[in-house]
A and B are shown apart, each in its own frame.
Chain A
C-alpha cells in the first residue's frame, strides 16, 4: 500500500476527496459556477424583459433631450439640454453639498469632540447630549424636519428672520452676504501662489534641517506670504471688493447668495448628523494619546503649541484619519437622501431620467458608477494621507 501511494505521488497529483487542496478547488469551481449561472440567468431574463417591453439598451439616451428642469445647477442647464448634461449637473450638485458638508461637519465635529473631553462640566454635558440625540435619530427624518421647518415654519421673505447682520432666513431659504468684485480673482490667485510657495519653503526647510541639523525659521516667512500675496493680488486688481449684502426687493432677495430651502435643509441635516459621528472619532483619537505623552513633552520644555503640533496631533491623527475617511464617505453617500426633499442631486436627476426613458439598468449603473468613483477617490486620497502620517517604524 505504502509503495503504491508513494508511486502515485511520484506520478503526479491525483485529486482525492481527503486532500484539502482538491476540496478547495472543487468548492471554488462550484461557487464560481453558481455565480456565473446566476449572472447568466439574470442577464438573459433582463434582456428578454427589455425586448418584450420595447425598451432600448445602451447609453445612447444620454445624448437625447432631457426635457425636465433642474431647480439649481452649477453649470448652465436648460430643459433642452441632453440627459448627459442633466446628470452632470446632478453630479456637481452632489459634489457641492458633499464638499460643503465635509468641511462644516469636520469643524463642528472637532469642536464637539474636544468639548466632550473638556473639564468643563457644562460643555461636556451639552456636547454629550447633542451627540446622543443626533446619532440616534434617522438622517432622513432630520432632513424632513429641517425642510418642513424652513418651508412651513419660517416666515415669507418680507418678514424674514434676521439673526445676524446681512443674514436672512425665510421660507425661500438662507440668504448670506457674499464677497464680490474683481479683487476676488486677485486674492484667489495670490492665495494659490502663496500656498505653493509655502509648501515649497517647508520642503526646503526640511531638507536644510536634514543637511545642516538646524532648521531655518520659515514659519514667519510662510505667514507673511499667506497674508501678503492675497493682499497684493487684491491691490493689483485695483482693490475692487465689497460685501454684497442681500436686500429684500419687492418679492425676493437680491444680492449676496441665497441657498435654496432644499440645499439649506440638506446641508444642515448632513452637517448636524455627521458632526455627531465626527465628534466621537475626534474624541477617541485624542483619548488614544496617553497623558504621559503630554507630560513628557512638557518636561522636555516644549511650549504647549508645539506639544500639540509635534507630539499629540501626529499620534491622534493616526487613530483619527481612517474612521474620519469613512465618515466623509458616509456623508457623500448620505447626500443621496436629497431625492427625498427635492434637491436635484445625482440620484434625483438619474431617477427622473430612468423614469422618463425607462432605461432602469443604465440609470442605476450611472448612479452606482458615479458613487463608486467618488468613494474610491475619497478613499484613495485618505489612504495617501494616512500613509503620510502613519507610524514610520525603523
Chain B
C-alpha cells in the first residue's frame, strides 16, 4: 500500500501534477478514478450519517434509538459491561478490567526490545499470577469467582495469550522434530502436523468438548475452558511448526557445519546458531499466525464459552433491546481490529529492526 503503489511512479512536483499522474494518467485510469469516486460518494455519506450524524449516543429507551434513524450507540453504552466482561459478577467487574490491563501491559512491555532480559520472564510469571488471583479470587479478601462466569474481553485475551504461550514451544518442538534425522520422531511429527492442518478448528473444539470427557478415566474431568484452550494450542502449534520449518530450511548447511566444527551440541547449535536466524526470517508469517490465533479464539462460541463474540451475541439477544446487532458487532469488530492491526504493525517494525541489525 505504501511504497509499492507509488514506488513505480516518481514523486510529482505540484498538486495538479499529483492528480494528473496518480489519478488521471490514462483514459482507463480516469474512468477507474471516476467510477471509484462515484461509488465512494454513494456509500460514504449515508454510512457517515448512520454512524455519526443521526446516531443516538444518549437514548435511554430502545424506542428513542429507533426513532433517530441512525446507529444506536446508546445500546453499546447500556450493554458495554456485558459485552466487555460477560456475566462476571457486576460489582466485581473491576477485577477482570484490571486483569485485562495487566495482560495488555505485559504484552506491550514484551514488545520493547530493551526489555528482552531474563527479568521479563519473571515479570510474566508475576503478571500471570496476578491475573489468576484477580480472575479467580478466593484469596486476599477477594470473593471466589468460578471460571464458568468469566467472559468478554479478558477471556479473549487470556485464550490468546495462553494460546501463544502454549502453542509456540510446542510448534517449535514439532518443527525441530519434523527436521529430525530420527525416522520415528519425524514420522510422528509429520502425521500430527498434516492431520491437524487438514481439519477445521471447529472439529477440534467439538472434539475437546464431547470427546475429551470420554478419553479420561471415570471421575476425572477437565474444565471446559481449559479444554477449549488445549484445542486452540494443539491447533495453532501445527501451523507454527510449518512456519518455523520454513525458516529452518532457509538456514544454509554451512551454519550447521560451522556450529558442529566448534563442537556445539545439537541443542546448543539450535539455540545459539540456527533458531535465532530462522525465527528472524519468519517473523511476518509468525505474526500472521498469532493474529489468526487471536481471531480464532472467537470460535469458542460454538461450544458455548463466553468470549467477546459470545458476549456481544448475548447483548444482542436481549428482547428489550432488539435489533441493534449491527452496532454490537461493529463495536467488537473495532476491538478485534485494533488488537490484530497493532500486532501486524509491530511485526513489521520488528522485522525492520532485526534486518537492520543483521545488515550491520
Contact = CB atoms under 8 A, between A and B. Distances in A.
A275 B13 CA distance: 36
Contacts of A317: none
A56 interface: no
Interface string A356-384: 00001101100110011001100000000
B214 A128 contact: no
A50 B340 CA distance: 42
A140 B326 contact: no
A33 to B, nearest CB: 10
Contacts of A35: 188
Contact of A144 (B8, B184, B313): B313
Given A45-B214, A119-B9, A351-B206, A28 B182 contact: yes
Interface string B210-225: 1101111110000000
Given A122-B33, A140-B309, A371 B214 contact: no
B316 interface: yes
Contacts of B199: 333, 367-368, 371-372, 375
A77 B159 CA distance: 40
A117 B216 CA distance: 54
Interface string A96-119: 000000000000000000001111
Contacts of B185: 27-28, 31
B203 A360 contact: no
Nearest to A133: B337
B176 to A, nearest CB: 13
B5 A148 contact: no
B299 A337 contact: yes
Nearest to A335: B200
B211 A364 contact: yes
A48 B199 CA distance: 27
A148 B329 contact: yes
Contact of B215 (A46, A117, A135, A139): A46
A144 B299 contact: no
B122 interface: no
Nearest to A50: B214
Interface in A227-253: none
Interface string A9-36: 0000000000000001001100110010
Interface residues of A, number: 64
- With most chain B CB atoms within 10 A of its CB, the pick from A116, A141, A361, A368 is A141
A339 B210 contact: no
A211 interface: no
Given A124-B5, A148-B316, A49 B214 contact: yes
B299 A140 contact: yes
Interface in A293-326: none
A145 B301 contact: no
Interface in A149-194: 149, 152-153
A48 B22 CA distance: 71
Contacts of A124: 1, 5-6
A215 interface: no
A52 interface: yes
Interface in B284-313: 291, 295-296, 298-299, 301-302, 309, 312-313
Contacts of B217: 45, 48
A120 B33 contact: yes
Contacts of A48: 217-218
A110 B202 CA distance: 29
A136 B333 CA distance: 9
A361 B211 contact: yes
Given A119-B5, A361-B214, A339 B198 contact: no
B214 A360 contact: yes
A123 interface: yes
Contact of B203 (A24, A136, A371): A371
B336 A375 contact: no
Given A116-B1, A347-B202, A31 B9 contact: no
Given A120-B23, A138-B295, A347 B203 contact: yes
B181 interface: yes
B207 A118 contact: no
Contacts of B296: 138
Contacts of B6: 119, 121, 124
Contact of A121 (B23, B183, B215): B23
Contacts of A138: 295-296, 298, 309, 336
B22 A119 contact: yes
A143 to B, nearest CB: 10
A192 to B, nearest CB: 32
Contacts of B23: 120-122
Contacts of A132: 1, 341
Interface in B307-351: 309, 312-313, 316, 323, 325-326, 329-330, 332-333, 336-337, 340-341, 344
A354 to B, nearest CB: 7
B261 interface: no
A208 interface: no
B5 A145 contact: no
B195 interface: yes
A42 interface: yes
B25 interface: yes
A252 to B, nearest CB: 22
Contacts of B147: none
B11 interface: no
B43 to A, nearest CB: 11
Given A136-B341, A336-B203, A46 B291 contact: no
Contact of A137 (B37, B203, B333): B333
Interface in B7-60: 8-9, 21-23, 25, 29, 32-33, 36-37, 40
A132 B333 CA distance: 13
Given A52-B218, A122-B36, A138-B298, A287 B4 contact: yes
Interface string A336-358: 11011000000100010010000
A31 B173 CA distance: 13
Given A121-B6, A145-B325, A360-B211, 7 more contacts: A28-B183, A45-B218, A123-B36, A141-B309, A141-B333, A368-B195, A372-B199
6 contacts: A31-B188, A48-B218, A126-B36, A145-B329, A333-B199, A375-B199
Q: Which 6 A-B pairs have the closest CB atoms?
A: A128-B1, A124-B5, A136-B340, A148-B325, A121-B22, A138-B295
